Amino acid sequence: MGENMTFFEDGFKKNGLIWLRYIYFAFVGCLIGAIIGLAETIFCLGLNWIFKIRVGHEMSLLIAMPFVGLLIIFIFVKYGGQSKEGMNLVFKVDQGKSRTITYRLVPCMVLSTWLTHLVGGSVGREGVAVQIGATLSYRIGKKLPFSIPKSMLLETGIAAGFSGLFGTPIAAAFFGLEVLVSGAIRYEGLCSALTGSFMAAYISSLFGIHAEQFALPHVSITFFLMLRVILLGIICAFIGMFFSKSLQFMRNNLAKLWPNPYQRIFIMGIICAGLLALFDQGRYSGLGVNLIDAAMHGQTIYPWDWILKLVMTVLVLASGFQGGEVMPLFSIGTCLGYWIGSLIGIPPMFAAAMGYAALFAAGTNTLLAPIAIGMEIFGTQYFLPIFIVCAIAFLLNKNHSIYVLQRNLRL
């Protein structure tokens, strides 16, 4: 367990009570989960308030995008410090490349994400959620009477942050264990990740934050259906890889084109606002929940919805606006699955659900979390196709990830 576990190894093990460390881990997980659950509730309620403000003012708020972009850059330049690295800072701490995660990451990321959503940026929210979780967990862990490995603290915080926002504790626990190092799960963090995840979900549920679940029409799982599901998984693998590479490519090249972050975000803010207004008056703004709901309720999904949502998410994030990538991945995967399903003979709503989980697997380079979230959102009765489509997307994505500093121990 490492030198930080000297207390447990030399104390409890010597007395045959090493199992007590798991009670301690569970207690720490509950403590961290409760605090992070409250923090995620504040963040989510703030987002919900912003979404209400936007109703009826979508186009007028898009005009403000370049100016709000300047404010976001000012916040990070003036007050952000290391926090401007965002999720990369979490990876650096786990890998020993940075010593700590500054508290200021939380308010800077929360405020900048709220502002991005206010003006209709095509971004998610989970990026901030897991950064909040990792930051608070890491800092709380340093104040505990008995030390815990930093990897365990980060995993617990990520799990609690994801769960507090999405209300999917099992998927969140696995995400926390998988995302920092793809291809290797450090099971010593399982106890605290699970308890932290369930506690955060419980706390946020007290304030009305729950996982959105969808009832799929009955689909008979046949051999020929599974062949089509495999094909869908292959397609999702390459689209997930394309999303990750496009995001990295645009970030690097926009930074070269406009080295000044103020100039970059202002010019790109004008471009992004214009494109979002042009593309069906903001259909691709925000989280993409509108597209997920449309697909899952049999409403209109256009063949180009997935690619336009992907393009707008890449452009907005690469410009310097803040938010997450996972919710857009869910939205892109849902639209892609719906469209591909209608082409290859899979019931579109069922295919949309498969795409939802599979693109998450391909984009984040994780496996167990996408399988779990597929079952938590769409039902355990579809375990087999969810498992297959996620496994294919995970195996064939060539180890690409939206997290550029993710360590990879896969073959």
Name the residue among 387, 329, 352 with its Cα closest to residue 215: 352
Paired residues of 287 in beta bridges: none
Q: How far apart are CA 193 and CA 175, in angstroms?
A: 9
> Any alpha helices (H) in 2-64, and if so which ranges?
6, 20-54, 58-63
139, 105 Cβ separation under 8 angstroms: no
Tally Cβ neighbours within 10 Å of residue 3: 8
Judge residue 21's burial from the number of C-beta atoms within 10 Å of its C-beta, 0-12 exposed, 13-18 middle, 19 or more buried. Answer: buried
Q: Is 410 left (phi over 0), alpha (psi -120 to 50) or beta?
A: beta
Please give the chain's pLDDT, 411 residues, in tens. Answer: 344 444 455 555 555 566 788 888 999 999 999 999 999 999 999 999 999 999 988 899 999 999 999 999 999 999 888 888 889 999 999 998 988 888 888 999 999 999 999 999 999 988 889 999 999 999 998 888 777 888 999 999 999 999 999 999 999 999 999 999 988 888 888 999 999 999 999 999 999 998 888 988 888 999 999 999 999 999 999 999 999 999 999 999 999 999 999 999 999 999 999 999 998 888 999 999 999 999 999 899 999 999 999 999 999 999 999 999 999 999 999 999 999 999 999 999 999 999 999 999 999 999 999 999 999 999 999 999 999 999 999 999 988 999 999 988 876
323, 317 contact by CB (below 8 A):
yes
Residue length of the chain: 411
Backbone angles phi and psi of 182, in degrees to 5: -70, 130
Nearest to 74 by CA among 254, 320, 285, 286: 320
Q: What is the pTM of this model?
A: 0.93
Nearest partner of 351 among 241, 211, 235, 223, judged by Cα: 235
386/400 Cα distance (integer angstroms): 21
Q: Cβ neighbours of residue 127 under 8 Å, at least 6 residues apart?
A: 86, 87, 109, 113, 322, 323, 324, 325, 326
Paired tokens of 322: 């803040």
**CATH code at 3-205:** 1.10.3080.10
DSSP 323: -
Domain boundaries along the sequence of the chain: 3-205, 223-408
CB 271 within 8 A of CB 320: no
Cβ-Cβ contacts under 8 Å for 53 (sequence gap 6 or more): 118
What is the spatial distance between Cα 31 and Cα 195, in angstroms, rounded to a whole number? 9
- The pair of three-digit structure tokens given for residue 376, joined into one six-digit string: 């938590």
How many CA within 13 A on the CB side of residue 381? 11
Distance CA 126, CA 228 (A): 30
Its CATH class, for the domain covering 223-408, is mainly alpha
Selection from 177, 192, 209 nearest residue 137 by Cα = 192
